[in-house]
Every structure is written in structure tokens, then in C-alpha cells.
Structure 1
Amino acid sequence: MLFPYSPLVELDVSAVRAQKAALKQFELAQFAQHDIYELIANRTQFCDQVLQDLWSQFGLANKPTLTLIAVGGYGREEMFPLSDLDFLILTSEQVDEKTEHQLRQFVQFLWDCGFDVGHAVRTLSECEQAGREDITVATNLLEARYLAGNLSQFHLLDQVLQKADFWPREAFFQAKYQERVERYQRYHNTSYNLEPDIKHSPGGLRDLHLLYWIALRHTGAKNLTEILKSGFIYPQEYALLQESQHFLFKVRFALHLILKRYDNRLLFERQIRVAELLEFIGPGNQGVEKMMKLFFQALQQISLLSDLLVKHYREHFLQTNDPVQISVLDDSFQCLNNAICLRHGNVFVEQPEHILTLFFHLTQHHQLDIHSSTLRQLHLALEQRSGYLAELPVAREIFLRLFNQPSAIARALVPMHKYGVLKAYLPQWQHIEGLMQFDLFHCYTVDEHILRTLLKLEYFLEPDSVVPHPICSRIFSRLTDRTLLYIAALFHDIAKGRGGDHAVLGSVEVAEFAQQHGFDQREIQTLTWLVEQHLLMSVTAQRRDIHDPEVVLHFAEAVQNKVRLDYLTCLTVADICATNETLWNSWKRTLIATLYQFTTQQFAQGMDCLLDHAEKIERHRQHALALLKQNTSLSAVKIEDIWQRCPEEYFLRNSPKQIAWHTELLAENPTELLVKISNRFSEGGTEIFVYCQDQPNLFHKVVTTIGAKKFSIHDAQIITSHDGYVFDSFIVTELDGRLAKFDRRRSLEKALTQALNTAKMPTLRISHNHKLRPFQVKTDVRFLRGHRTDQTEMELFALDQAGLLAKVSQVFSELKLNLLNAKITTVGERAEDFFILTNSEDRALTTEQRQHLAQRLHEVLAAK
């Protein structure tokens, strides 16, 4: 043993605990010096010797009716620092009271020593019955390993497990395969979640275990080497599985060394410490990202080979008696039952363009899958091949044809990535395969995000996309050729991880691709623009004042025409949805739709003058008036009295439903202070309407109170009436994006009313978010459109720390600045907020005032 276990005359809890602690210290100190298999074997032997000595110490070795058997992962000899100690105590007869007491003492002693014990005491018949009823119990028993006691009983158990009717091969396979299906669904069918589970994520250790279990039930092989000898896998597959398993074992062992409680999730904070143990280094987050790239590639390799070998087992061992139906697809491919097979084994080597033809057939025949023999030939051909498939003219032609086929993304692009064809086709793909972004904003690796963007575009063709994505559904379904948009999506993030502006670098890459693939100059210009400007609409809609005609005109000038606007809208929405499933909501949909509508109007009226909102303002007034007449008994005179106090921008920035709601509230409650909160009038958020006489520090009071109640603020609209009253609206959600429920709304109403009724400044109790600890975000203050004399626009980038808005508003109050508008955007751990401000003279900030503001924000946000 690397770390010798020291047997004592009599073990006590403190002695075992001390040896366990010493073992862990040895593993931490020697982790980089020893092969991971040695460390795992050493820990397994340590546990074996502890159990065997205790078995004797508690007098159980003198019981000929008892057998101590390791099961599950312990039976496989896969003991990590926090692994459960799973064992079976097999008894030939029902245990008497004395023996039962000894067994309880034995198990309790192990718990007292700090082991997580999973155990069962069963007779042989009870084992058989439990195994037949529960596939998990059966699997654990199949991995049984003798430790101590009656050896003949262990052999009898093995004979029971080898009975032909004890989980026959097909039933066992189907049960274990169904476990995999359900596990994959829990992880969204991707290996590329950025905080993966080493054991349960697709491609994780459970996928390796699935191969072990199938081979174990079929041949009795208990590890990869024995599985290779049995002929169940090929030498090339063995080498890849061994390499991937070795890396996953290292990561899991390191993770267990830094944790106190059992867990297999690689959370961001843990990734940093694990990378240090594995000696991945680099400036910033480069060490973590290097480690995680290898980790995700290992997951993908295991997932791919697991899929291939499961197919192989089903086809060659379970379906051998099925009637064979063969139909020819073309000179190179045929259909064997429901799987695509090669007609000649060397097709992929001699005619590599037919690698693309394979996936073209998948788009034509949605009922077909790929035969395991074809996958094996594909894998071998890709391993042997040098150069890229995109260099072949015929392959380029087939690749472009794919994008106009039914379900091109789901049936061709996704499996092409899975089986390694995309990186064999595109030189750029290999760099982003498994490339993570160490942040809380992106949920997936870069390659997975790109594929999800493509899938979202394809989803816009589905009838059920009309409700959540009405504009995109209409645009995308009317396109006669969707290739340009698909190619733009394929390249929009392809240059990430190289340093520099990924959008600019990606635009160069897509131009080279387009020239190589024969696109004309107009198409190349469109592709280049889409990739370079793919964030333009998202930034404009979420971080600019889109009701400002200058903002709309500037955006329209950048877009140039309606065709580009349509393309960019679809790409923007797909990109947002594919980044993080929680990002898209009806609030963002409203922002994008409003910008799309304004820009369309700008194109229609021409680019020579600013968009005139007079028509929209009048339309909002008339619609709101109709709603009030329909639902209230308010007189036209009363309505007009209230509306005369409001500036025109009030009617532009609020919907008719909001205007009618506010009017009704003010008519019924002619008080000095009114706070009302509702989910009914603002798309995608809970709206807070604040009406009161303008007062110092109003914004600070509101945002501090909202923060104290643990709501997220998304938008703040500050409108002051002609007679000095505020008609302010704030859009908030719960921290998880949900709308606020009734009791939460009433509680916030009460708190805001109290805060605004007093001159006392509220204090915010800050509870720090532990998820932010691994992240560093540099505070950056930027001033936009400095030529304006009436107002100052400011962007703030900072760590999304608790109480951020309260701190920012405190600075505004301190410097006597007026806030006209705010857009609050949280991008994972990063706040990207936009404010429109004036100074105490209701003018744009001077150069000195801007410098002072930036300095104070840096000081306040840096303070702990």
C-alpha cells in the first residue's frame, strides 16, 4: 500500500479517525505524484483492512453463518475519499439477538468513525427476492466482492446471480438503458452544463458504469481491461475510454479531497480548487477553463462511445432473431431494418464526402438511426483522416444542402457534432469544443450554446412557437432560404476564447467560410455583418432608451434595411434563449418587439428625420380612453384633468392598459402618496407604480426598499408631471424571474409607502451571495453620446453584489443628480446597468461632474 494501514491490538473510534485523517493528508500531499488508480486502490485496501479487522474485533469472524461482502462502487474497488462504504452481510439463517447486537455495534462503530455506510443484512433467498424486484439491488449484487466470513456462502450467492432467469440479458439491458434515458432528461440531454455532475451528467461515470454493467451481465467482465479481453470493445475504443475514465477519476478524487460532505457537482467555486490540485494554471480563469475543456471532452467521448456500444449490444446480442429487412438508399448506403449501414466498409476512407451524405440521409428519413457498425467505421475514418472535409468541393455542396432539409439542425448538425464530424469539417470548431465560459450567465459550453441557438432558430418553424415568439415565427417561416441565418448562427460565437473581440474575429472567419463555399458578395456582406453585430439588438433593446428617437435612428442606420432587421431579430432571440433557459421572458420579448416595431417604422418613413411618436402617443391615449369608458364611470373631464398634468412621454412609455390603470387609481385615490403593485398591466414583470410629490432621494428609497425585500429590478421609468409629482414605474420580479404573488406584493406596497412617508433614509441589510465568491468583475463607468446638452447617459459594469442599486442611488443622491430613466440588466455575476441623468440644474453633467461621479462609484463599489 502507498499509505500503510496500521493494525492495532484493539481499534477504537479515535484511532480509526486519526488514520483516516492521515490518509487524506497523504492523498492531498501526494496527489500529483501518484497515478489516480494507485490512490483509489490504496483507499480501497485501507477500507478492506479496517472492515476485516473490525469484523474480527466484534467477534463476527467466529460466526460461520455470516459473510461480509463489498457491493456497488466498493465492490468495483472504486473508493474515492467521500465514497459510501456499501456492503452486504449475508447470513445463512435468521440472526439471533446476540448476533444482531454485534452487527449493530459493528455498523455503528463505522458511522462513529466517519464512514458513510450503506449496508443490508439478508439471507440468500432475501437477496434473490430483493434483486429480482429492484434493478438497483440486482446491479449492486452483481458487483459483489468477498471480504470476510463464510466463502462458500459467497459462491452460493454468485450462483444465484448467474441463473438464467435472474434478470435475463434483455430485461437487464432495458432496465439499465431506461435509467440512462431518465438521467439524461434530468440534465437536458447534454454533457455541457457548466456546473456538471461528474457521476450523473451525460458522459459521466454512470455512462461508464452502464458499459460495465452490460458487459458484467453478459460476460462477467468487471473492468475495462476484462471488457477488452472479452471482445466487447475494440482496442481503439478501450484506449479512449481508459483515457477519459482516468481524467474523470482524477477530477472526482480531487473534488472529494476538498469537500467535507459527499457531492459530485463541479460548482464554479470548486472548479478553481480542483484545477489547482490538478496543476492547471494560467492568468485569470485560464487554468479552470483548460481543465474544464478537457473534462467536457472526456464526457463527450464517453457519451459517444457509450451510445455506440449500447447500439452494438442491442443489434448484435438482443435483436439477433428479428427478421432482416434491407433496402438500398444509394450506391454507398443501405437501410438494415431501421438503421443506416454502409454497403462497403471502406466508403468513408475512399470517398470521405459521403460522411456528409450519411447525415443528409438522416434528414430525409426521420425514422432511421445510424447502425453501430457505421458509427465504428465513421469513428475510424475520422481518426485516420488528415485535413478538413470542407476542403472537398463535393463535401461543401452537401454541407450547404443540409440547411434546407427538414429538421436539418436536429437530424444533421447535432449528431454531426456528437460524432465528431463538425470538427472534422470546420477548422474553427475544434477550438470551441468543450470550451466553457467561467461565469454565471452562460449555462453551456460555447459549442453547445451554438447548437442550441441553431435549434432555437429551427424551432421558429414549429406551430407552437407562434405564442412565445410571434415575430420570429412569422419571419423565419417565410424565408425561402434559411441558410444565411443558420451559417451566421453557426459562426456568431465561434471565435470565443481567443482574446480580442469575438464578434469581429468571427466575422473574418465567416467571410472566409462564405468565400470558400461560393457565396456571392452580397451574401458575404450580410453574413459578416450579422456575426459582427449579433449583439447589437440585444444591447440596444436592454441597455438603451429605445423610446428616444435618436437611439432608434442610430440603430436603424447600423442595420440599414428590413431584411437585415429580420435576420438580426431571429438571431438575437435565438441567442438569448440558447444562453440560459431562464433569460427569456415576456419582458424581454416586449423590449425586442418594441425596438423591431420602431425600427420598421423608421425604415418606412425614411432615414432623413427622427421618428415622430405623435401618432403612437395619440393612439395610446385613445385606446386608454376606450378602456376607461368600458370599465369605469369616470367622466371625460376627470380623465382629462389627470392627463393634462402628464408630459407626452408618459403616454409614449406606458401602454394603454398601464395608462388606464394609473388613471383609475389616481381618480379613486386623490392622495399625496400612492403605491400600487400589480402583475396585470406590464408584460413580463410585476409593475410598481409610485405617485407622490417629488422628493429628495426618492429613487434611493425605492430601490433600497425593493432590494431589502429581495426582488430583482429590471427597469425604472422616472416621469415627473408638470406640477412636480412623479409618475414612476418600476418593473421587478422575484430573484428567480417569477412574478410576485399577492402577499409579496402587498408586503412591498406597505414597505414602500412607509419609506416614502418619512424623511429617514432606509438602510439595506446586505446578505452576500456565496455564488459570487469565485468571480471578479472590474467596475467600469462609461458615458455615452457626450454631445447631448440636455441629459447624460451612463453605463455601469460591476459585480452584481448585494445592494448594488442602493449604493449607486446613494451616490446619485450625494451628488444631487436627477435620475430620468434606468435599465437594469444582470448578466450572470455581472451587472450591466444604464442610467439617464441630469445635474441639479436639469442639464447634462459637465466633464468635471462626470469624472467625480465615476470616481465616487468606483470608491463606493470597491468598499466591502
Structure 2
Amino acid sequence: MFKYVPIEIPTSSAVKLQKDQLKLFEIAHFNQFSVEELIANRTVFYDEILKHLWHYFKLNEHDATVIAVGGYGRAEMFPLSDLDFLILTAELPSAIFEEKICCFVQFLWDCGFDVGHSVRTLSQCHEEGQKDISIATNLLESRYLCGNIVLFEKLNKLLNQTDFWTLKDFYYAKIAEKEERYQRYNNTGYNLEPDVKFSPGGLRDLHLLYWLALRHTGLKKFAQILQVGMLYPEEYQLLQKSQQFLFKVRFALHLILKRYDNRLLFDRQLKVSEMLGYTGQGNQAVENMMKDFFQTLQSISLLSHILVKYYRKHIISGDEFYIEQNLDQNFKLVNNEIKLINQNCFTEQVESILDLFYHLTVYPESEIHATTLRNLHLRLRNFEGYLSQSAVARQKFLRILAQPKAIKRALVPMHQFGVLDIYLPEWKGIKGLMQFDLFHVYTVDEHTLRVLQKLEDFLDPKYVDAHPLCTMIFPQLSDRTLIYLVALFHDIGKGRNGDHAQLGAKDMAKFAAMHGFDQREIQTMSWLVDKHLLMSITAQRRDIHDPQIVMAFAAEVQNKVRLDYLICLTVADICATNETLWNSWKRSLLATLYHYAHKQFQQGMDHLLDNQEKIKQNRNQALTLLEREYPILSEDDILQLWCSCPDEYFLRNTPKQIAWHTGLRSELDSEFLVKISNRFSLGGTEIFIYCKDQPHLFNKVVTTIGAKQFSVHNAQIITAPDGYVFDTFIITELNGDLVRFDRRRYLEQSLRATLETEKIPCLNLKKDQQLQHFRVKTEVCFLNTEKTEHSEMELFALDKAGLLAQVSRIFTELELNLLNAKITTIGEKAEDFFILTNKLGKALTEAERQELKYRIISEL
């Protein structure tokens, strides 16, 4: 092992050199020693430095001692850990002593240590520790280094006094810390860029168990805690294994970083996985490591939950029973906690495991007793086979799903405590499975549970404003059990070779048949899993105002029952993928497609929806709005303004938009009309441009929008016979918010200035460093090539600043006309849809399509 070599007259550069050599040693020997040996060696290295410098700066001449605290006190020193210590003095330090301390600490900083130090007397330690739980915890972890050992012993005696944080106060203060920390991470450790230390299930949860045991027993090792009976041997082994894995991940992470951080960001995951010896093609090494990582987090989180609960019941609050009620032959309710009557029921009647979670739904204020949880956890660790193989268990599982709050009260804790692992054979395949992209922020199993929770939210009136359509439809569904099971299976096929939706559909059909669903229900359930992305793709990447698109979508869905299920599943899936994805613009797209498809079913599938009826309806409603809001305009004035508008304009704009545009045009006093508002478009900030068409207009507009840091979601290009354009762009801030007033006015001015010049603006944006770790193959696909009036093109590419401007420049250079565009960003991937014509106003020829495809792929 690498040891510190004391230098008679130490210099900061010499100490720093040894410190750097230690890191090089750790990198070279990372897989030759256990991580515990590396941590212990680094801790001793720091100890020797501090002891040496303590004497060199003559601090030993004063009545004081230096004590390691915090992580250093636990002897858990990682390459980037802070050097936390307390200088404990018998009395307030003299000026000479203070000067020596300053030189001592400054020297450590000069050596490159991140120092966290304090200088206190015994009374100050007592006073500060009583006021601050963090200080109290640090003091409890204290470890003697050198100096007056009697002072250290007095400190320990002081910390054990009854007036210094009672067991109860200490417990509730640490639990409050834990709850605040969990909230910062959305109560899940399954974020795809997790924090090794602070994420739920991370090292802080291990520290919590250590702190509670330390305050209760004074013991500082899990092995010692095992000996006094606070841990079962199986729990101890799992804690040791989990701690070792997280220690190794954190140590490797610190070796590759220059500055302190505990986050496993995407660019770090590959390097850490290589250091830990994971191999595989593409992202396989990362995904395998992260799967182990997330399963470790779940193990720690579960054990922490069980042991903290046990500690509260048996050490903090005792076991006083007031209200007792038998639930069945195996369980009773004691003070709102479900406790075992038959201690062997999980072994003798394995299906009773599901009864436990059924009781949680029946008694919504209840929770599972600590001893019951420990018994369950031990049983599950040795469980063989799957509960779903039992007909009795299958009945009990469906009974749970039919209960109110079935997801929140039963399925979520069933996942938390590992019961889904032993019920569904396929669940283990997605447990802790990450996806190496910027779109998904959770592992597949965590995302699945969040889809289920979002579906259940649609029963809650408080979500009406956010999800008006789904909160109306979901309570009226004929069988919510069906959609819950579909949600459970919609991503179950991920992580396997092949189309995950098709694989999941097969699993769904098999599961549904096994659980007694009839053939019609099985077909619906497997179809929903197979086509769970259909509505999202159609709404966001197709022209939903095209009757043929609506007809094709309705034909695929077949009936309104499926449509109702699909809209709820689609919205829940989007919301549970990434909190930033859902916005009013997406809501409006999906609602429009839903209503068009519903109307198609009502009128029958024999002919397309009649656009003329929609156009007439929009015109009449817009006219009514204008008569009320612009009384100065006569009907003749309005019709005169409308005479140049093609039918397409009235189809693709709402009555509110048409009225707004018309009012603006009636007051037009310049060559260029550019107005931006949040009031009239469905779900985004609308830019309306009315002016004489000009070369490069679309390119100018999207370049200007991109330069001002906005996201474009939709572009609608309509050119009237008189050569004027009615162009509409739907934009948001980069985080999906509507654009605020000052930013709207600023963009208006910029767009007018751009349109008034022939010069095309330059787009100089910083390269997104996060994107450099992702590879997305550029693909160009043409859809419905039999159409003669226009061409439809899909583009898949790495999202980057200026992408839309670059593509629009290519359109311009090839003399292509853009009629419509839908811009969708899926994490690091752009999935954009364009409707184009050539310079003759027709669909692109085969040669023109090939040239466009070649230009885009070669330039992107």
C-alpha cells in the first residue's frame, strides 16, 4: 500500500506530490485491492499527514486535540472527500494559538485538500451540537487523531449525556433530513443520472442506519451492530454487499473527476463501468453496471425503510397496543399497522403475501408493521418460482387491482418491497433497466410505476385543469383493471432484442389468458401494448388535419373503446417519461386527434371527414367573435379581408386564431405584420406573420427564433394566391413554458428586423456539451409517396442548436416549398415531420427526394 512519508521540513508542493502519487497508485491498483482496503489506506494517509503537521506547526504545545469528524471520522475517505476535523481546545485559543491554527489550515489548503474544520471548546461543542443536528451527528462520529486524549474522552462523555439529543429527538431530526433529501430526488433513486451519495437508496441511507445505531448503542461498525441483535444475519450480509458496491462506484467516480461530485452523469458512467470491469458492445457495459447500481439502491432503500421502521417501533415508541382488529386468519390491524397473526403464513400460505397488500387498499390509513416487513423481506430473499403460477394468487392479484387506490396503496409498495419480482417473471428484466438517452429520466420499472400512478391520478378531481380530457374519460372506462395491466406491460419488452412493443404484446396476451380474460379483452390489451406509441406519433409527427391521416388512425384503432383507453395510456406515458415533456401544446394535439377520430367513428368509416363542414364552422365562429370584439368592422369588411385566404387557412386555425389574425390585419399599417401572443393558439406561444412572400423566409424566421433560445414545436406555412403568407409558428421557452411578455416583444422586434433585410442571419450557438456523448444516426424517410399534391418527410437526427435552420436552408437551396412542419425533440434525438412541394407546387419526384435525402444526411 502507498504510505505517507514524513518530510522533516514539509512544503505544500512536496505533500501535494505525495497526494498525487497516492491517486496514481489507486488508479493503477484499483482492481488489485478491495475498495475497503483503498479507503482505509487513504484514511491512514490523511491521518499521518495531520499528525505530522500537528507537531510541525507546534500545535502539540497547546492544550488541544485534533479529532476527525463526519466521513473522515467514519474513516470513509474517498479521493475527493473533504478533510473534516475538529480542533478541540480546553479553553478559548490565545492569539498565538490562533495564528498557528491558521498556518496549519492554510498549509492544508495549499496542499490541495478541501478542508472543513472548526475550533471549539467543550462547552461550545455542547452548545452548537444541541442547536444543529448536522453538528451533533459529526461530533458523534468523532475519531481521535492526536493531542490531548483526555479532552477527547470528555467530549465523548458530554455527547452521551441525556440532555444532548435524546434518542427520540435524534431519530425524528434524522428522519426529517431523510424526507427532505428524498423530495429533492422526486422520492426515487431511479433517476438515470443518480447521485451515489444522496439519491434515495444511496450512501446517505446507509449512514442513517449507522447514525441511529450509533446514537443508541455507541457502536460504529455494522458487524458490531449485528452482534447486539439489531440486524439479522441476512440483512447484515445484504448491507455489506450493497455498501461495498456503492463504495467501489464512488471511489472510481472520484478517481476520474477533478472536482468533488457524486453524480453519475452520462459522460461519467462509461468510464466508471470500465473501471469496475463491465464489458459489452455499445452501451451494454453502462446498462449492466447501472442495472446493478439501481438494484443496489433498491436493496438499501428497502432495508433502510424496514430497519428505520423497526427502530421507531421498538426503540423510540415502544410496542403499546390500543386498538386491535383481526383482518383474516393471518393478519390483524394493531394501531393502524398490519401485523402477522401467523408468523409462518408467508411460507405455509404463500398467496397470503398478496392479502397483505389487499388489506392496505381496504384500510387506506394503515401501514405494514415493522416485524411483518422484516418477515416478508426474509421470505422473498429465498423465494423460488412465481406467484402468478398459482390460480389462487392470480385471483388475489386481480382483486387488488379492482380496489380503490390500487396503484398507490398496493402496486407501488409491492414494487418497493420486491413482490412484483416474484409475481411477474418478466418484471426482473426491466427492474433497474436504464436507457442511455436524454429523453427518459427514470429506469424502465420506475417509469412503469409512474405511468400507473398517473392513470390513477385521472380519478382525482384536482387534475382536471392539467388533464381535462383524461379526467373525464378515465372514470367512465368499463374496466380500469384492463388499462392498469396494459400499463404494467407496455414497456415490459425493453432490454430484449426486438421491438419492445411487439414483445410486450405477446407477454400481455399470455398473461391476460392466464388470468381469465376473454378473447375480446385479450385482443384489446395486446393491441394497446403493441400500439401504445401510435397516438403520440400520429399527433406529434403527422398532419392531423389531413382527413386521410385521421381515417388511417381511426382504422387502426377500430372503435371508441380502444380510443378512450389509448388516449389515457398515451398521456400517462408521456407524463411519466419526463416531467418536462408534458405541456398544453401536446395536450391540444392529442385532444384534437382524439376528437377527430371520435367524429370519424360517429359518422362511419365509409368516407373521409368533410373538411368543408369544419371550414364553415370555423368561419362562422370567427365571425361571431369578430362582431363582438371588433364592432368597428362590418361583415363586408371581414369578408373582404378573408377573400384572399385559402380554405386551408380556415381549416388549420381555430376561430380564436382567425379572429385575432383578422383584427390584426384590419389595423395593418406596415409591410410586415409580426405578432406574438399566448392567448390564441392551443397550448403554446403563437407567432403570426403576414407579409409578402420572400426568398428564404422560413429560414430567416427559424434562425432568428433559434438564436433567441426558443423551441419551435410547429410551423404552418400558408401562401395565398395573391402571394401573401399566413405563417404561424408555435414556440415555447426551452423548458416548455409559455413565453413571457418582455421576451415576446423582443422577438417581435428581431423578426421584423430580419424580414426587412435580404441578409440571412447567422446562428452562433454554443455546442451542447451533454450531446457529445450520444450518437444518433441521421435518417430521412418519405411517407405516402403515392400522393401527388405534396411530399411528407420524416427526419431523425441528433438534436443540436440550429438544426431546423440548417434543414430549412437546404430546402431553400433546392427550391422546395415548406407547407407544414412538426418539430419533436425526444431527449437528444430530433424527430421532425415536414410537408413539402417542389418549385412547381407538386410532390417531389423520385430524383428530388433522393437529392434532398443525400443533402440532409451529408450535411448533418
TM-score, normalised relative to structure 1:
0.99
Does the 8 Å CA contact 2:402/2:480 hold for their aligned counterparts?
yes
CA distance in 2, matches of 1:368, 1:710: 49
Deviations 1:318-343 (A, max 9, x none): 22263443211111111122211111
Question: Which residue matches 1:505?
Answer: 503
**Conservation of the 8 A alpha-carbon contact between 1:221 and 1:230:** no
2:309 paired with 1:311: yes
SS of 1:773's equivalent? helix
1:328-379 deviation line (CA, Å, top 9, x unaligned): 1111111122211111111000100010110000000011110111111111
Once the two structures are overlaid, the 10-residue window that deviates more, 615-624 or 347-356, is: 615-624
Listed one character per residue, the Cα deviations across residues 423-447 of structure 1 (whole Å, up to 9, x for unaligned) are: 1000000110010011110110000
**Corresponding position of 2:644:** 645
CA contact (8 A) 2:313 2:319 kept: no
Structure 2 unaligned regions, length at least 5: none
Given that residues 477 and 565 in structure 2 are in contact (C-alpha distance below 8 angstroms), is that contact kept between their aligned partners in structure 1?
no
The amino acid across from 1:652 in the alignment is L
Alignment counterpart, residue 413 of structure 2, candidates 396, 412, 415: 415
Q: Does structure 1 retain, via aligned residues, the 8 Å contact 2:790–2:835?
A: yes
Distance in 2 (alpha carbons) for counterparts of 1:321 and 1:781: 67
Give 1:114 deviation, angstroms.
0.9
Corresponding residue of 1:733: 732
> Which is worse superposed, 548-557 or 333-342?
333-342
Cα deviation, 1:282-323, whole Å, max 9, x if unaligned, reads: 111111111111101011100000000011111111222634
Is residue 422 of structure 2 the alignment partner of residue 447 of structure 1? no
Corresponding position of 1:69:
67
* 1:203–1:303 Cα contact (<8 Å) kept: yes
Residue type matched to 2:856 in 1? Answer: L
Asked if the contact 2:191–2:441 (Cα under 8 Å) also holds between the matched residues in 1, the reply is yes
Specify the alignment match of 1:276 in structure 2: 274
Distance in 1 (alpha carbons) for counterparts of 2:714 and 2:407:
36
Q: Which amino acid aligns with 2:557?
A: V
Counterpart of 2:77 in 1: which secondary structure?
coil
Instruction: Give 1:717 shift.
Output: 0.3
Could you tell me how far 1:738 is from its partner in structure 2?
A: 1.4
Contact 1:44–1:79 (CA<8 Å) still a contact in 2?
A: yes
Aligned match of 1:840: 839
Q: Identify the residue that residue 461 of structure 2 maps to in structure 1.
A: 463
Corresponding residue number in structure 2 for 1:60: 59
Partner of 1:11: 10
Q: Displacement, 1:813? A: 0.9
State the AA in 2 paired with 1:637.
D
User: How big is the shift at 1:186?
Assistant: 1.1
CA distance in 1, matches of 2:571, 2:92: 66
2:838 corresponds to which letter in structure 1?
A: N
CA-atom RMSD in angstroms? 1.0
1:779-818 matches, within 5 Å, as 779-818=778-817
What secondary structure does 2:773 align onto? coil
| Alpha-carbon separation, structure 2, partners of 1:172 and 1:496 | 44
Q: Could you report, residue by residue, the CA deviation over 1:64-120 in whole angstroms, capped at 9, with x for unpaired residues? A: x11000001000000011111000000001111111100000011111111111111
Distance 2:726 2:154 in 1: 82
Deviation at 1:182, TM superposition (A): 1.1
- Are 2:826 and 1:827 aligned? yes
Give 2:714's aligned residue.
Answer: 715
Matched, 1:401 2:399: yes
1:107 is paired with a residue whose SS is helix
Question: Could you tell which deviates more after superposition, 795-804 or 279-288?
Answer: 279-288
**Separation (CA, whole Å) in 2 of partners of 1:276 and 1:521:** 49
- The separation in 1 between residues aligned to 2:859 and 2:148, in whole angstroms, is 71
Match of residue 113, structure 1, among 88, 111, 114: 111
Counterpart contact for 2:783–2:791, Cα < 8 Å: yes
Equivalent pair of 1:441/1:829 in contact (CA under 8 Å) = yes
Q: Name the residue aligned to 2:235.
A: 237
Give the alignment of 1:215-226 within 5 angstroms. Answer: 215-226=213-224
8 Å CA contact 2:477–2:564 kept in 1: the answer is: no
TM-superposition CA deviations, 1:790-843 (whole Å, max 9, x none):
111000000001110111011111111110100000000000000001111111
Whether 1:372 aligns to 2:364 is no
Residue type of the partner of 1:439?
A: D
Q: How does 1:291-690 map to 2 (within 5 A)?
A: 291-320=289-318, 322-632=320-630, 633-690=632-689
Unmatched segments (≥5 aa) in structure 1: none
- How far apart are the structure 1 equivalents of 2:95 and 2:576? 61
- For the 8 Å contact 2:824–2:831, the answer to whether it is kept is yes
Structure 2: how far apart are the matches of 1:474 and 1:739?
A: 25
Aligned equivalent of 2:137: 139
SS at match of 1:665: helix
- Cα deviation, 1:128-167, whole Å, max 9, x if unaligned, reads 0111111110000000000010001100000000112211
Q: Distance in 2 between matches of 1:9 and 1:173?
A: 47
User: Are the counterparts in 1 of residues 321 and 334 from structure 2 also a CA contact under 8 Å?
Assistant: no
Q: How far, CA to CA, are the matches of 1:230 and 1:104 in structure 2?
A: 43
Measured in 1, the distance between the counterparts of 2:474 and 2:92 equals 70
- Within 2, Cα distance between the matches of 1:434 and 1:384? 20
1:341 aligned counterpart, secondary structure: strand
Q: In the alignment, what sits opposite 1:200?
A: 198
What is the identity percentage for the equivalent residue pairs of Structure 1 and Structure 2? 62
| TM superposition shift of 1:392 | 0.6
**What amino acid sits opposite 2:78 in the alignment?**
F
Q: Aligned equivalents of 1:380 and 1:134: distance in 2?
A: 37
From 82, 89, 95, the equivalent of 1:91 is: 89
Please identify, of 431-440 and 318-327, the stretch whose mean Cα deviation from structure 2 is larger: 318-327
Give 1:837's aligned amino acid: L
Among 237, 246, 249, the alignment partner of 1:251 is 249
Q: Secondary structure at the match of 2:597?
A: helix
Superposed displacement of residue 475, structure 1: 1.2
Task: Report deviation, 1:670.
Answer: 4.6
Q: Partner of 1:163: helix, strand, or coil?
A: coil
Shift of 1:513: 0.4
For residues 816 and 648 of structure 2, the distance between their equivalents in structure 1, rounded to whole angstroms, comes to 21
Deviation at residue 615 of structure 1 after TM alignment:
2.1
Taking the aligned partners of 1:635 and 1:668, their CA distance within structure 2 comes to 14
Separation (CA, whole Å) in 1 of partners of 2:279 and 2:811 = 41
CA distance, structure 1, for counterparts of residue 185 and residue 382 of structure 2: 33
Judge which range, 668-677 or 547-556, deviates more: 668-677
Report the alpha carbon displacement of residue 257 of structure 1 after superposing the two structures with TM.
1.0
Q: Which deviates more, 775-784 or 749-758?
A: 749-758
Q: CA contact under 8 A between 1:781 and 1:795: conserved in structure 2? A: yes
Whether 2:154 is the aligned partner of 1:151: answer: no
Alpha carbons 1:73, 1:79 under 8 Å: kept = yes
Deviating more after overlay: 688-697 vs 614-623: 614-623
Matching residue's letter, 2:268: R
Q: Give the C-alpha shift of residue 613 in structure 1.
A: 2.1
Aligned counterparts of 1:488 and 1:442: Cα–Cα separation in 2: 20
Residue 29 of structure 2 is matched in structure 1 by 30
**CA–CA distance in 1 between the matches of 2:350 and 2:755?**
72
Alignment partner of 2:219: what SS?
A: coil
Asked if the contact 1:196/1:267 (under 8 Å) is kept, the reply is yes
Q: Per-residue displacement from partner, 1:440-473 (whole Å, max 9, x unpaired)?
A: 1011000000000000000000011222111111
Write the distance in 1 (CA, Å) between the matches of 2:538 and 2:592: 11
Partner of 1:164: 162
Structure 1 partner of 2:697:
698
In 2: Cα distance, 1:333 partner to 1:4 partner: 58
